[in-house]
Amino acid sequence: MDGVTPALLVKDLEYSYPDGHRALAGVNLRVEPGERVAVLGPNGAGKTTLMLHLNGVLTGSRGEVEVGGVPVRKPNLAGIRRRVGVVFQDPDDQLFMPTVAEDVAFGPRNFGLPEDQVSRRVREALETVGMAGHADRSPMHLSMGQRRRVALATVLACDPEILVLDEPSSNLEPVARRELAEVLLSLDRTMLMVSHDLPYALQLCPRSVLVDDGVVVADGPTRDLLADVELLAAHRLELPWGFRLD
Q: What is the CATH number of the domain that holds 17?
A: 3.40.50.300
pLDDT band with cut points at 50, 70 and 90 for residue 53: very high
Average pLDDT over residues 118-147: 96
In the chain, the number of structural domains is 1
pLDDT at 1: 54
Q: Is residue 245 part of a domain?
A: no
3-class secondary structure per residue, the chain: CCCCCCCEEEEEEEEECCCCCEEEEEEEEEECCCCEEEEECCCCCCHHHHHHHCCCCCCCCEEEEEECCEECCHHHHHHHHHHEEEECCCHHHCCCCCCHHHHHHHHHHHCCCCHHHHHHHHHHHHHHCCCHHHCCCCHHHCCHHHHHHHHHHHHHCCCCCEEEEECCCCCCCHHHHHHHHHHHHHCCCEEEEECCCHHHHHHHCCEEEEEECCEEEEEEEHHHHHHCHHHHHHCCCCCCCCCCCC
Q: Is residue 2 part of a domain?
A: no
pLDDT at 2: 60
| Strand order through the sheet with 215-221 | 84-87, 162-166, 190-194, 36-40, 207-212, 215-221
pLDDT at 62: 95
Q: Is residue 244 part of a domain?
A: no
pLDDT at 26: 95
187-216: pLDDT as tens digits: 999 999 999 899 999 999 999 999 999 999
61-76: pLDDT as tens digits: 999 999 999 999 999 9
pLDDT at 245: 84
pLDDT band with cut points at 50, 70 and 90 for residue 113: very high
Q: Is residue 14 part of a domain?
A: yes
Q: Is residue 240 part of a domain?
A: no
d(CA 49, CA 219): 18
Q: Is residue 246 part of a domain?
A: no
Average pLDDT over residues 24-41: 96
pLDDT at 178: 94
pLDDT at 43: 85
Q: Is residue 142 part of a domain?
A: yes
169-187: pLDDT as tens digits: 999 999 999 999 999 999 9
pLDDT at 44: 83
Q: Is residue 20 part of a domain?
A: yes
Instruction: Domain of residue 222: give its range.
Output: 8-234
Which of 211, 235, 207 lies closest to 15 in space, CA to CA? 211
* Helices 174-186/144-156 angle, 10° precision: 20
**pTM greater than 0.75:** yes
Would you call 19 exposed, middle or buried from its count of C-beta atoms within 10 A (0-12, 13-18, 19+)? exposed
User: How many other CB atoms are found less than 10 A from the CB of residue 107?
Assistant: 25
Average pLDDT over residues 21-36: 95
